[in-house]
Amino acid sequence: MKFYTKEHRNYCGIDLHAKSMYLCILDNKGTVLLHRNIKTDREIFLKTIRKYRDDLVVAVECTFTWYWIADLCEKEGIAFVLGHALYMKAIYGGKAKNDRIDAQKIAMLIRGGMFPVAYVYPPKMRSTRDLLRRRMYLSRKRAELLTHIQNTAYQYNLPDIENNVCRKSQRVGVAQLFPDKSVQKSIQLDLDLLDFYDTILPKLEKEISAIAKEHDADSYFRIRSIPGIGRILGLAILYEIHDIKRFPKVQAFASYCRLVKPAKESAGKKSGSSGAKIGNVHLKWAFSEAVVLFLRRNEKAKLYRARLEKKHGKAKSLTIMAHKIARATYYILTRNTVFKMEEFFK
């Protein structure tokens, strides 16, 4: 956990919402200079803080509405800090909770050097990262359609569908395998949506790949040197990491990827683990997927995984390998090298 400890003359805590924002500004002695609820608007915000802009820092909790205010502060030369939502427990404590109290707590946290910092993703690559996340969401929706077709066949105890429904050319007549007309209509709806996804997803992937080469082609192709990491996984890892230099150690990177198990300990006694949801869920998915693809047609990797499975079990063996691939990715990017199989299994 990192804290923002830089000192300023004024501290502005904002409880930010889509339509409104509550501002609390403190001076360096902790005196409240401003308490105000305003409309979420750029001009109104700048007008409100105008008197206090001299050496001001603005702090906001990491919710979905932070993009615009981070970009505005960068444009106006105002210091901006993004708070890690899962670490900001002080906001949710207390007997009463409202926007006024939350804004003041944020201002007090940053003034006291106890404000947990989240990464402010730069706008240059942010929109492409969000587009890639949208592509992954649509891809999962496509997978749900395929699952629904298969589950419906099980529901009516029908024979296994011989056609490979994943392929557009083999979907003809699949709906007619179901005797009930209403079920046929439901399955046909799934097939029509699959046809639509199969049209837009390849086009979207091609466009994102072209943009990625403009942003950081060198890192992109270094990541893809790892067996099993193709175009989509390479893009996901590249855009979720953004800059590997923001991780001082490989342990910090593995923790960010949700590939470690933080222990809870007090007075020398361990009581399980916590923090499973702190980190980047998209990198967790990407490296977990990369393990499965890494094992394909890789006999050396299969033997290594078998040894891990014998010692740790099936599920944990995959997690250990995902952690190992994440570490390899870190060193590939920090040392400007490519994947080497002999180094991986050394």
pLDDT in tens, 333-342: 999 999 999 8
If we measure between CA atoms, which residue out of 220, 201, 200 comes closest to residue 210?
A: 220
Q: Do 99 and 53 contact (CB within 8 A), yes or no? A: no
Q: Which residues neighbour 240 within 8 Å (Cβ) at sequence distance 6 or greater?
A: 129, 280, 282, 283, 286
Query: Would you state the pLDDT for residue 297?
Result: 85
CA dist 136 and 120 (Å) reads: 22
What's the pLDDT tens digit per position in 8-30?
A: 999 999 999 999 999 999 999 99
What's the pLDDT tens digit per position in 87-114?
A: 887 666 777 888 999 999 999 999 999 9
CA dihedral over 170, 291, 314, 276, signed as positive or negative: negative
Q: Which residues neighbour 22 within 8 Å (Cβ) at sequence distance 6 or greater?
A: 14, 15, 35, 36, 37, 38, 99, 100, 102, 103
Enumerate residue ranges in the chain where pLDDT < 70.
Answer: 90-92
Q: Do 18 and 40 contact (CB within 8 A), yes or no? A: yes
Secondary structure of 209-252 in the HEC alphabet? HHHHHHHHHHHHHHHCCCCCCCHHHHHHHHHHHCCHHHCCCHHH
Q: Do 44 and 38 contact (CB within 8 A), yes or no? A: yes
Query: Would you state the pLDDT for residue 90?
Result: 65
Structural tokens at position 232? 């989509």
If we measure between CA atoms, which residue out of 264, 260, 242, 263 comes closest to residue 251?
A: 260
DSSP 3-state assignment of 175?
A: helix
- Rounded to 10 degrees, the C-alpha dihedral 26/30/36/38 comes to 40
DSSP 3-state assignment of 4?
A: strand
Whole-angstrom distance between the N-terminal and C-terminal Cα of the chain? 32
Tell me, what DSSP letter sits at residue 170?
G
CA atoms within 13 A on the CB side of 106: 31
